[in-house]
Amino acid sequence: MRKNTMLLTNLAIFPLVVVATSDIVARSVPGDRVLALNFNKQKYQGNGHYSSRLGKRTVESVINNEYLGYYIDVEVGTPPQKIRLVLDTGSSDVWIPSTSSKLCRSRKNPCTQGAYDPALSTSRKVVSGGAFKIAYLDGTQARGDFVTEKFSFANHTIPDLQIGIGYEINDSAGVMGIGFPANTAAEVAYPGFVEGLVSHGFINSHAYSLYLNDQESDTGSILFGGIDTKKYTGELRSLPILIGDDELVPTQFLVDLSSIGFVGKNGTEKPVSTEKLQVVLDSGSSLTYLPNSTIGPIIKEVGGYWQRDAGAYVVPCSLSNNYEEFVTFQFGEPLGPKIKVPLEELTNFAIDVKGDLIPDEDGNPICYFGIQPQPKDEDDIYIFGDTFLRSAYVVYDLDGQEIWMAQTVYNATESNILEIRNSTKTKSGVPSVKGVEDEPKFTPTTAEAKETIRPNMGLRVQASGMFSFAIGIVGCIMGAMV
Ligand SMILES: *[C@@H]1O[C@H](CO)[C@@H](O)[C@H](O)[C@H]1NC(C)=O
Ligand SMILES: *[C@@H]1O[C@H](CO)[C@@H](O)[C@H](O)[C@H]1NC(C)=O
Ligand SMILES: *[C@@H]1O[C@H](CO)[C@@H](O)[C@H](O)[C@H]1NC(C)=O
Ligand SMILES: *[C@@H]1O[C@H](CO)[C@@H](O)[C@H](O)[C@H]1NC(C)=O
Ligand SMILES: *[C@@H]1O[C@H](CO)[C@@H](O)[C@H](O)[C@H]1NC(C)=O
Ligand SMILES: *[C@@H]1O[C@H](CO)[C@@H](O)[C@H](O)[C@H]1NC(C)=O
């Protein structure tokens, strides 16, 4: 979520997978200082309903016109009070809803992600009463006190983290903003969560890597102070973080996008746009936004259309199985990263306030495209949210003021964690280590590999090829019958 301006859109849509929660596991590499927080995502269940707990949140989300995101579980105060926060690279304040806010006291009690009762905590120290005021791009706001509190996550504790307490709020979910300190909602920038990790010696650098993973998957992670070379292919490529027009230091993860393309079934890439755009990487936004003129040609390729009533692009839900066609994004040419986003990741099932799939006139589910036009009254900075970020392994290096990106490996089961050293402007501390092989190799060259690996790989590929072929035929026959 970017703060301070309004982003209005009348879409009530959610990813099929509700990414909920945490069960955070911290892991330290011997000698190195890296902190891993794993998300667990709560999956959408069978017949079109979310679990009732999330259902409540869904109702609230629609009222607040807000999307579901990635959550981290934390404990605040003494004794600890459990709260679940939205992980947000688009803002820089950590804030939690107060139990005494009108919203949390309302009969609906939407504060199901947890709320904080200041009266019950002995470790709260008020820094500045009434000074906390934040407004996000989606129209939600929070106001209250700045305090320092004991803040714990995954068996680690920062004894005196500065956070906002939301007494006047219109979104029940607190936020864990991990952007640049210069973007905090205070008159004078203050040290935030990432600084807290560094100053308490949990990590050595102001840097982290975010692995959101496939929208169909139930795992993902953020590594503070480290990278995991098994989670991306090829090499990480860097991009300078841009400094805004009226600013002296970077305030958000703003980078140059140089072109967009489309790769169809035959593997040939077609240019879609070579317009130079500035985009901000924002894990607190579910969707990705581009100029309408850029989305048109992509929508034509994928057989989608503009639905006037919803004010959004709709695509065939069959694309939710399509890992073969991609929208490609080239950043900072010519040596910058290029990320391919499969259509599967850009297909979002629409659900209603109860969490049921919204059917069209023929009873089929409706799917919204993961890229939508940025509203006209917005500035010229385009928001790249989760529908893009899931396909990229992104390293946010706040010290070196660089973004590093590579193509993500979905559902990676292995791990090789390396520490990020403290970067300077001239020397990056991000390890220059290749990830896994670019493309799976089906014709290994060594004799040994040929004997042991090849037959298995061959069979697996053939089987899945036949399976999708069979589905295709069934689809055609049914189509012909009606
Ligand atoms: C916290 O530490 C305890 C004891 O070392 C361990 O059993 C537990 O799994 C840890 N919990 C998390 C969330 O890391
Ligand atoms: C949140 O509250 C503010 C202030 O009352 C209001 O201007 C804004 O429209 C509200 N936003 C939403 C999404 O309800
Ligand atoms: C990392 O470098 C930055 C700027 O060079 C410096 O401000 C910061 O204190 C350093 N952090 C550590 C942990 O050495
Ligand atoms: C990742 O795993 C999920 C199940 O956990 C599966 O639905 C999805 O298709 C997998 N993605 C890829 C790219 O294999
Ligand atoms: C590949 O497919 C696209 C349509 O997606 C088509 O425009 C293009 O001409 C094809 N290229 C080749 C080499 O067949
Ligand atoms: C986007 O373009 C389509 C097709 O040209 C048009 O119908 C629609 O109104 C446009 N949407 C916005 C938000 O500008």
Q: Is residue 426 part of a domain?
A: no
Indicate which atom in ligand 2 lies nearest the CA of residue 141.
1
Rounded to an integer, what distance in angstroms lies between the CA atom of residue 69 and that of residue 50?
15
Confidence band of 19 (pLDDT split at 50, 70, 90):
very low
pLDDT in tens, 429-458: 998 888 898 764 433 333 333 322 222 111
Catalytic residue among 93, 138, 145, 282: 282
Average pLDDT over all residues of the chain: 78
Residues 253 and 394 reside in one and the same domain:
yes
Residue 354 has pLDDT above 80, yes or no: no
Residues 82 and 44 reside in one and the same domain:
yes
Rounded to an integer, what distance in angstroms lies between the CA atom of residue 162 and that of residue 146?
7
Residues 264 and 225 reside in one and the same domain:
yes
Q: Is residue 296 part of a domain?
A: yes
Q: Is residue 52 part of a domain?
A: yes
**Is the CB–ligand 3 distance for residue 422 below 6 Å?**
yes
Give the domain-ending residue among 143, 178, 203.
203
Residues 291 and 178 reside in one and the same domain:
no
What's the domain range around 70? 35-203
Which of 374-378, 397-401, 446-450, 472-476 has the weakest average pLDDT? 472-476
Active site residue 245: no
Q: Could you tell me the two tokens for 288?
A: 């990705």
Q: Above pLDDT 70, what percent of the chain? A: 76
Active site residue 88: yes
Specify the residue with its C-alpha closest to ligand 2, atom 3.
Answer: 141
Specify the residue with its C-alpha closest to ligand 4, atom 9.
Answer: 216
Q: Shortest CA distance to 406 belongs to which of 259, 222, 238?
A: 238
Give the rounded distance of the alpha carbon of 63 from its chain centre: 22
Q: Give the contacts of 281 (CB within 8 A, at least 6 positions apart).
A: 89, 90, 253, 255, 384, 389, 394, 396, 403
Residues 185 and 251 reside in one and the same domain:
no
Question: Domains in the chain: how many in total?
Answer: 3
**Is the CB–ligand 5 distance for residue 268 below 6 Å?**
yes
Indicate which atom in ligand 3 lies nearest the CA of residue 425.
5
Angle at 345 between CA 341 and CA 349, to 5 degrees: 150
Residues 289 and 377 reside in one and the same domain:
yes
CATH (domain of 46): 2.40.70.10
Confidence band of 187 (pLDDT split at 50, 70, 90):
confident
Give the number of whichever ligand sits closest to the CA of residue 23. Answer: 1
Which of 251-255, 423-427, 436-440, 468-472 has the weakest average pLDDT? 468-472
**Overall pTM surpassing 0.85 (yes/no):** no
Residues 281 and 347 reside in one and the same domain:
yes
Q: Could you tell me the two tokens for 448?
A: 């040994």
Give the domain-ending residue among 172, 187, 203.
203
Residues with CB under 6 A from ligand 4: 214, 216-218, 323, 410-411
Question: How far separated are the first and last CA of the chain, in Å rounded?
Answer: 44
Residue 480 has pLDDT above 70, yes or no: no
Q: Is residue 12 part of a domain?
A: no
Which of 115-119, 173-177, 274-278, 300-304 has the weakest average pLDDT? 173-177
Residue 373 has pLDDT above 50, yes or no: yes
Residue 369 has pLDDT above 90, yes or no: yes
pLDDT in tens, 402-413: 999 999 999 998
Q: Is residue 287 part of a domain?
A: yes
**Is the CB–ligand 1 distance for residue 426 below 6 Å?**
no
Confidence band of 461 (pLDDT split at 50, 70, 90):
very low
* 52, 54, 366, 407 from 45: Cα distances, Å: 11, 11, 17, 29
Residues with CB under 6 A from ligand 2: 64-65, 139-141, 170
Residue 93 has pLDDT above 50, yes or no: yes
pLDDT in tens, 226-271: 999 999 999 999 999 999 888 899 999 999 999 999 999 999 999 9
Report cis status (omega within 30 of 0) of the bond before 79.
yes
Q: Is residue 80 part of a domain?
A: yes
Residues 234 and 375 reside in one and the same domain:
yes
Residues 149 and 229 reside in one and the same domain:
no
Give the number of whichever ligand sits closest to the CA of residue 264. Answer: 5
Residues 235 and 343 reside in one and the same domain:
yes
Specify the residue with its C-alpha closest to ligand 5, atom 8.
Answer: 268
Give the rounded distance of the alpha carbon of 18 from its chain centre: 12
Specify the residue with its C-alpha closest to ligand 6, atom 8.
Answer: 306
pLDDT in tens, 284-298: 888 899 999 999 999
Q: Is residue 367 part of a domain?
A: yes
Ligand 3 pocket mutation pick from 203, 206, 224, 421 by most atoms within 8 angstroms of CB:
206
pLDDT of 140: 81
Confidence band of 143 (pLDDT split at 50, 70, 90):
very high
Residues 58 and 89 reside in one and the same domain:
yes
Indicate which atom in ligand 1 lies nearest the CA of residue 26.
14
Q: Is residue 199 part of a domain?
A: yes
Residues 218 and 171 reside in one and the same domain:
no
Q: What is the residue type of 439?
A: E
Give the domain-ending residue among 203, 219, 242.
203
Confidence band of 41 (pLDDT split at 50, 70, 90):
low
Ligand 5 pocket mutation pick from 268, 322, 325, 343 by most atoms within 8 angstroms of CB:
268
